Structure 1
Amino acid sequence: MKKFVYIVTDRNRTSLHVGMSADLIKTLDFYKQMPNLFFDSGQQLTRLVYFEEFKTESQALNRFKVVSRFTRPQKERIVRSCNPDWIDLTIGLDFENIIYQKKLNTQVALPLSILS
């Protein structure tokens, strides 16, 4: 089972929060449903700006412990290394999830000419 270490921020990049999850989409939905979970509503953590994927929980936990201890400049550096414009990566995850779900739900459709 995959595990993720991630960094989320608010729209003004005031706060950076490091977390670990097995399902990033569900976790991000939770953040959106609980706007005052960590901070006031102006600092709602809704933007996924960085994540790493791991094969085991122990690998993810070790990385989480390291990244959690980073100073703010170190966290900013790690985000900028792969996401220099601080784009919300949730959009890509949603798209990937939609495509995956469609593949699971799609049945092979035969052309009518073959059936007749």
Structure 2
Amino acid sequence: MKKIVYIVTDRNRTSLHVGMSADLIKTLDFYKQMPNLFFDSAQQLTRLVYFEEFKTEAQALNRFKLVSRFTRAQKERLVRSCNPDWIDLTIGLDFENILSHQKINMQVSLPMMHSLS
């Protein structure tokens, strides 16, 4: 199972949080549903601005430990290297997730279509 190292931020880019997850969409949903006990709405970490996929947990853990030790300036450079406008990448993930479910549904239904002919 793939592991993902990611960076999320709030809408004002005040905080940058590095994390690791096997299910990034579920993790991001958790951030969005997190009660406002700890943060006001401007501080909620709901914007995915960077992520990397790894084949093994060991690779991901090594990268997570490294990126976690980065200074803020290093994290900002990392984000800008692939996301210069700091757009929320969650939209693309949702789209990719929808496409992958459609492919699975099509693959399941294709053999049934062939058996009808």
Deviation of the 1:39 alpha carbon: 3.2
Aligned to 1:102: 102
Q: For 1:38 and 1:58, how far apart are their aligned partners in 2?
A: 31
Question: Which residue in the other structure is 1:53 paired with?
Answer: 53
Question: Which is further off, 71-80 or 38-47?
Answer: 38-47
Which ranges of structure 2 fall in alignment gaps of 5 or more residues? Answer: none
The residue that corresponds to 1:4 in the other structure is: 4
Alpha-carbon separation, structure 2, partners of 1:18 and 1:39: 17
Shift in Å at residue 36 of structure 1? 3.4
Query: Take 2:28 and 2:77, find their aligned partners in 1: how far apart are those partners?
Result: 22
Identity across the alignment (%): 84
Cα distance in 1 for residues equivalent to 2:11 and 2:88: 9
Residue equivalent to 2:24: 24
Q: What does 1:69-80 correspond to in 2, within 5 Å? A: 69-80=69-80
Deviation at 1:41, TM superposition (A): 3.0
- CA 1:93/1:37 → structure 2, altered by over 3 Å: closer, same or farther? farther
| Post-superposition offset of 1:44 | 0.6
- Alignment-derived partner of residue 42 in structure 2: 42
SS in 1 for 2:42: helix
For these two proteins, the number of residue pairs brought into alignment is: 112
Q: Partner of 1:103: helix, strand, or coil?
A: helix
TM-score by length of 2: 0.88
The offset of 1:3, in angstroms, is: 0.2
- CA contact 1:3–1:21 (8 Å) conserved in 2: yes
Question: Which amino acid counterpart does residue 96 of structure 2 have in structure 1?
Answer: E
What residue number does 1:88 align with? 88
Q: TM-score, normalised by structure 1?
A: 0.89
| Shift in Å, 1:42 | 2.2
Deviation at 1:40, TM superposition (A): 3.2
CA contact 1:35–1:44 (8 Å) conserved in 2: no
